[in-house]
Chains A and B, each alone.
Chain A
Amino acid sequence: MSTVVLDHITKHYDQGKVLAVNDVSLQVGAGELFGLIGPDGAGKTSLFRILTTLLLPDKGQASVLGYDCVKDYRQIRNRIGYMPGKFSLYQDLTVKENLDFFATLFGSSINENYALIKDIYEQIKPFNDRRAGKLSGGMKQKLALCCALIHKPEVLFLDEPTTGVDVVSRKEFWQMLKNLKQQGITILVSTPYMDEAVLCEKIALIQGGNILSVDTPDGIRSKFPVPLYAIRSDNIYQLLTALRKEPGVDSSYAFGESIHITLNEQQTNMAAIQQSMVAKGHTQLSMEQIQPGIEDSFIRLMNQAQPAIAWQRK
């Protein structure tokens, strides 16, 4: 039995004018660290709010720990921890007061589940008497995680926990999630950062309210159907414009310092492309076949899905 089940969930906003979630079905197993990866506006937060009983779906069923998200919301609220994307603790209460407050709301206390939050709480303990509004971004996020964990939830929902946090804190945060997973907590985390996807056990790529693919990060990468090449020159911008005009090139996009391309037909080979580029005056060309990353997969899936989504929007 899966811990979190989404069954054909659809949600509209503004009386049906805006489609936020489109017929999403998804399952998260017990003890999994599951990532919901997608750009802003993909529908991640809507899904989270449905699962945390804050939002009613228009169609479909959702359940957490076997409890229905609409009917058994009370049981769910006792058993989950939710950390909204926006910092939503009381800024005018101190660190300790916030923790105390949320512990009390769940009929618990800081001491009762101290073991669970110990590693995280130790880091913010020196600021116990500082108001939450005066904490730095990373500290706020740690406090929010503590507050979401204080009642020992069985499922943890983290909505974009690392948005707006520095690289070091992000790394630390993911380490914390791994530790929590060790304790048997099922974790659902959403993020717009592709580089965080590989840190999850399983990921779902989501775009425009549609799930594009659900798999392990390796699974998603290995499903990339065609060879992927990275190409560089001393003038990336001109090279990109030229590649986009090249008939043999299927897709091309700038990726860091190089351009990732896939080819149209199998018979076109990279040598031909390279010759063509050299003929057009591009210098210092280098080219190699590379392993596709999550982002490459995502971009490919997104481009394939785009016409379909556009059609559904009508």
Chain B
Amino acid sequence: MSVLRYLLKKEFRQIFRDKTILAMMFAMPTVQLIILPLAMNFDVKQVNLAVVDNDHSSYSRQMVNTIGASGYFRMVAAAPSFPAALQYIEREKADLVLEIPAGFERNLVREGQQKVGISIDAINGTKAAIGGNYLLTAITDFNKDLPVNTAARLSPAAGGIDLTWSNWYNPLAIYKFYVVPAVLVLLLTLIGGFMSALNIVREKEVGTIEQINVTPIRKWEFILGKLIPFWLMGLIVFTLGLLVAWGVYGIWPVGSFALLYLFAAIYLVALLGFGLLVSTYTSNQLQAMFVAFFFMMIFMLMSGLFTSVDSMPPWARLIAHLTPITHFIKVMRMIVLKGSGFADVQREFGYLVVFALILNGWAILNYRKTS
């Protein structure tokens, strides 16, 4: 036991001696947690709109005004013709073109119906879909208030289903509430995964592992001596992240902290096992960096951080479920936003325990003192 204690002492000494790494370990999650969620905003504002008004009537002007007043659009041009307006899209000055045909007002009043054309730049799919939707809503609003329709509504039994809704767990549907817990998990993953992988490989690269290997030190002592310091550092980073989430975004976990930390603790064990595994297969820090990076990219993009896991194709969903980060992100969101109890997340708990066992077991089997 005294050997393990001394190993830990030595490990912490080395961590605290490398000021750059230490600063990175704490500054990176703090700074990134402040910057990333602000930038990763999927709420679409400022859709650039070019209008082709072939009617120049009071109705058409009213419609353009209604759209402009919705607050989501910025009028970039009033073009004389559709081809001219399309130029704005081609030069990326506009995202949408609204074409109002000649006779717009006359047809509306006389025949009670009229068509307008919307052209959307769909290179950025999200912006196109949401921007198009906004425009439709704005036009529907305008449509509702037309004299023809207001008159119609006065007549009884107009019928139709009136919708009301409310957003649960995130009443204002604010995107950052969704993203901050996930980004925190991501940063924890990056730090835990890279630090543990690189640290052990460094001993290989520098050659110190050779000197350790000829000592009677036991395999489990050496591995525990490596994992415990990073496990503790991980929990500190996690705490720091929660504080930033609270201080900067006002996100205070609804669920229990004990459950949150239980998951973080198990997740870190799985993650450090991953780092250890990478280090047993690589022989220098550059290799370890690339291998870890390869998996980190998959973890990041498949984890449900950006896109919903449920809407992935089956094969991708399988990969997503085979990465521990997916489960932890899900649990984080459930506990932080929804206040889920252990019963709600016990399946994820099981997953993480299995990941921890497999990754560590594999790593320990593959770690050899003799080649």
Contact = CB atoms under 8 A, between A and B. Distances in A.
A53 B217 CA distance: 13
Nearest to A50: B370
Nearest to B213: A54
B136 interface: no
Interface string A72-102: 0110011010101011111111000100111
A70 to B, nearest CB: 8
B371 A90 contact: no
Contacts of A73: 370
B206 A105 contact: no
B311 to A, nearest CB: 47
Interface stretch (B2-10, B34-42, B46-54): B2-10
A84 B213 CA distance: 11
A93 B13 contact: yes
B10 A56 contact: no
A107 B211 CA distance: 15
Contacts of B214: 52-54, 77, 80, 82
B207 A90 contact: no
B215 A90 contact: no
Interface in A103-155: 104-107, 147
B215 A56 contact: no
A92 B210 CA distance: 17
Contacts of A147: 211
Instruction: Tell me if B's interface is mostly helix, strand, loop or mixed.
Output: helix
B125 interface: no
B14 interface: yes
Contact of B212 (A74, A78, A105): A105
A55 interface: yes
A52 B211 CA distance: 10
A8 B118 CA distance: 85
Interface string B110-135: 00000000000000000000000000
Nearest to B215: A105
A90 B216 contact: no
Contacts of B213: 54
Nearest to A87: B207
Kindly name the residue among B213, B217, B370 whose own CB sees the greatest number of chain A CB atoms within 10 A: B370
Nearest to B222: A105
B210 A88 contact: yes
Instruction: Tell me if A's interface is mostly helix, strand, loop or mixed.
Output: loop
B215 A88 contact: no
B370 A102 contact: no
A56 B213 CA distance: 14
B239 to A, nearest CB: 27
A77 B210 CA distance: 12
A90 B370 contact: no
Interface in B208-241: 208-217
Given A88-B207, A104-B3, A97 B371 contact: no
Contacts of B13: 93, 97
Contact of A88 (B18, B208, B369): B208
B211 A102 contact: yes
B3 A55 contact: no
A278 B3 CA distance: 73
B206 A53 contact: no
B206 A91 contact: yes
B17 interface: yes
A52 B208 CA distance: 15
Contacts of B212: 105
29 contacts: A53-B214, A53-B370, A54-B210, A74-B216, A77-B214, A80-B214, A82-B211, A82-B214, A84-B207, A84-B210, A86-B207, A86-B210, A88-B208, A88-B209, A88-B210, A88-B211, A90-B14, A93-B13, A93-B14, A93-B17, A100-B6, A101-B6, A101-B10, A102-B215, A104-B3, A105-B3, A107-B3, A107-B216, A147-B211
The 8 closest A-B pairs by CB, nearest first: A88-B207, A104-B6, A105-B215, A82-B214, A88-B211, A77-B216, A86-B207, A78-B216
Interface of B: 2-3, 6, 10, 13-14, 17-18, 206-217, 369-371
Given A54-B371, A100-B6, A102-B215, 9 more contacts: A52-B214, A82-B210, A84-B211, A86-B207, A88-B206, A90-B10, A93-B13, A101-B6, A104-B6
